[in-house]
Structure 1
Amino acid sequence: MSVRDDRHRRPQGPGGSPERITIRRGRMAADDYTMLPNAFLADARLSFTARGVFALLSTFSDDEWEAATPASLAAGTPHSVPEVEAAVAELEAHGYLAGAAR
């Protein structure tokens, strides 16, 4: 079926124009889970802290990612800001993060 054929099957509104359809995305299982490659988790070059920082960052939305700082990542954890900065540097050095803010 071509795109043109598909257009002709859409519901028609007043005056024969295509009816506007609103699609609302509901909550999905993927909203509650983060998948990380096993190769990343098994990368012996990385400390557990670096793996944890990356796992945490992987749960963030784009807005949260942009606002993340080593201080905000360390808040509420047993890790200090310098430890998180070192973890971010590890991730950058091994190609897991690019141009991370410090």
Structure 2
Amino acid sequence: MRRNTAAALDFNGRPGAALGTALYVFAIRAARDPQVMSRVAAPFAQRNIVPHQLCCRASEQWLLIDIEVELEAPKIAELLLQKIRSIVLVERVNLVEGNC
């Protein structure tokens, strides 16, 4: 049986989750350091995952990064979560299922 992988659009015109997938948001607080963005993006790139949305805001001390991705399995989200938490410059990561 073939699975429909065509993405739908949500009410804002952004891509929604394809059938059999879910949207996850990684909310990350990391040190304000030039290397943080590439280190946080690396686990996604290693798994050939392109985020739907990546938002970054800077305060005096922190970078607040939200990454929205579409994944087929919750296990992949958990693996990404553990990988991001292991980055030295990352102070906190929260994982939420849904849109930014």
Q: TM-score, normalised by structure 1?
A: 0.30
Larger Rg over CA atoms: 1
Decide which structure has greater helix share: 1
Decide which structure has greater strand share: 2
Indicate the structure whose relative CO is greater, using CA pairs within 8 Å and at least 6 residues apart.
2
Q: TM-score, normalised by structure 2?
A: 0.30
